A and B are shown apart, each in its own frame.
Chain A
């Protein structure tokens, strides 16, 4: 493991996946963190609390947080087959695959296809209907808010399972905070009805074309989208044996 990622725990690469710190930096020299991957934020300091005084001496350290970046072919396993079939099927439909599939990421033995949001319904329908793909089961959508991912702050992540071929892939679609619209795929996967409502409820992603996009967990008149990163957790300090314990989001946290 590279000595510079400040992580005692992060000593393994995922089975079958690439660990950008391990596999691509063959020399593994300190301070040679790769510039690959997708920057989603900046981490300051090395250890110790980030809202107290710097006692570690590493307070000036600034590192970028990077998610695993695009992978090059061959992806390995059935991933190549899925990618080939999907690209071929989209091509047949008159859609340039490169326009729809922004990038493919293989990480920790999982295959993620980043899809341009305007093409999501067509890609989903192709993945469902093409006999060689046949992803019958959509396990819903999970929203993720990356405030540091400029212009693509809101991500919607779909996991598709093929019972026929016994495969699992992930689709990831992003939208900017300023225009939080992603086409709904309820038409293709009716199971996403409640899932999209939930993601709308918590992240404010507007799924265009959803039959009734209303709040599902929070009260109908709730303001704001609770699982966005800028939304506070809330809570009050509690007293325990004479000491004040601050609310969870006010407690000391570590960089």
Chain B
């Protein structure tokens, strides 16, 4: 090339440069000039890596995120407002849909709050409490599996995704066997459970534990020591103890800083003080530490599930007080699952009081003495708190859910700013937000 500049040539289309090598200075200078523009990228609200309808507003400079903000509210369904127009028992049907991956936690936390308001915490039958714990710990497994599966998929590790959903499927089958539904169960009710475990459930859960014990090491083999996995996750999404406390982050995020804060240990509910399990921690404060904690928590949950099975003894699953206990004695008839014929026979034929109770409970519900209560459980994502207020009526006066996803998602900016765009995905995945819980 003899000339250092391309010669322009006028055509009817405008000026045409023939760039053959020497004139890149001009092109590069033009590109450099454009570089000082800040680029604001909207990631979501519909994006496969944002865990639902989460909108991330990223201000980026090259590949570096200089500012990260969340836009939420796309999945707001007004469940808290809706609860004020249903009876206390109907509430479980709503709250189970909040964080739809941790249904049993929502139901249990809500029921614990209602039971506290009623003052019947000590009357809940042991069997009901054990089944609650059993389902909650199975739920911890299924929630962590989704977290690890989707988190893996976002890194390109589709095998992790397939494995995670394969194992979660087994748990959903158990839910279906026990509650009749794979999601949105409304199985845990104020006072106990909707119905007892079906025949064969205990064997099915034992079978599952066996399979899961075999499958869990696969995640270790596949991911834990994997250099690519580690390279993507280590030192990403860093949030130290001070950051966690200031931002109110709980759950695996808080435990990845080395603080073994777990409500099951510090403020036991549902008899967790009697179970033998460990609270895993990490001290890396990063996404990899949270991944390891989730893996270990799944092993611990299996231990708790096993202990529940060993302790289960026949007995009632609803409080004895007929003025609270929902009259659901379900049985499988020729036309499907419905109120048992024995129960119908009793209320229609022999006991007028039973009929009155049935009628009053189903149409009107029960009254809850005025006051307020706060019940918190350790959900897979952190502290799930329920603030329930009663004015003495048959419907909640106010129910507020302190969802851990909502609070933890605030930490997104602290974890992502200054990092790479690709690390935003990892950091958000390590928070494990579920928008149904964030927006409620």
Contact B364 A191 (CB under 8 A): no
Residues of B within 8 A of A47 (CB): 360, 364
Contact A227 B80 (CB under 8 A): yes
In whole Å, how far is A10's beta carbon from the nearest beta carbon of chain B? 4
- A142 touching B387 in the complex, CB below 8 Å, given contacts A107-B371, A166-B267, A189-B248: yes
Contact A19 B81 (CB under 8 A): no
Q: Which one, A14, A37, A140, A198, contacts B119 given CB within 8 A?
A: A14
- Chain A 1-44 residues near chain B, CB threshold 8 A: 5-15, 17, 19, 21, 37, 40-41, 43
B17: Cβ under 8 A from any A Cβ = no
Contact residues on A (Cβ < 8 Å of other chain), bracket: 35 or more
- Chain B 394-411 residues near chain A, CB threshold 8 A: 394-395, 397-398, 400, 402, 406-407, 409-410
In whole Å, how far is B265's beta carbon from the nearest beta carbon of chain A? 10
Contact B116 A7 (CB under 8 A): no
Contact A9 B370 (CB under 8 A): no
Contact B266 A108 (CB under 8 A): no
Contact A170 B367 (CB under 8 A): no
- Chain A 213-250 residues near chain B, CB threshold 8 A: 215-219, 226-227, 233, 248-249
CA distance in complex: A17, B117 (Å): 10
Contact A191 B259 (CB under 8 A): no
Residues of B within 8 A of A216 (CB): 72-73
What does the 1/0 interface line of B401-440 toward A look like (CB < 8 Å)?
A: 0100011011000000000000000000000000000011
A85: Cβ under 8 A from any B Cβ = no
Contact B118 A12 (CB under 8 A): yes
A51: Cβ under 8 A from any B Cβ = no
CA distance in complex: A136, B85 (Å): 35
Q: Which one, B120, B321, B365, contacts A254 given CB within 8 A?
A: B365
A195: Cβ under 8 A from any B Cβ = yes
> How many B residues have CB within 8 A of the partner chain?
63
Q: Which of B133-141, B152-160, B372-380 lies at the interface?
A: B372-380
B35: Cβ under 8 A from any A Cβ = no
Q: Which one, A8, A17, A166, A217, contacts B73 given CB within 8 A?
A: A217
Residues of A within 8 A of B392 (CB): 5, 7, 10, 43, 65
- Chain B 163-210 residues near chain A, CB threshold 8 A: none
A90: Cβ under 8 A from any B Cβ = no
Contact B367 A248 (CB under 8 A): no
Contact B372 A157 (CB under 8 A): yes
Given contacts A47-B364, A112-B372, A191-B246, 4 further A-B contacts (CB under 8 A): A14-B119, A19-B369, A166-B267, A216-B72
A interface vs B, CB < 8 Å? Answer: 5-15, 17, 19, 21, 37, 40-41, 43, 47, 65-68, 107-110, 112, 136-140, 142-145, 157, 159, 161, 163, 166, 168, 170, 189-195, 198, 202, 215-219, 226-227, 233, 248-249, 251, 253-255
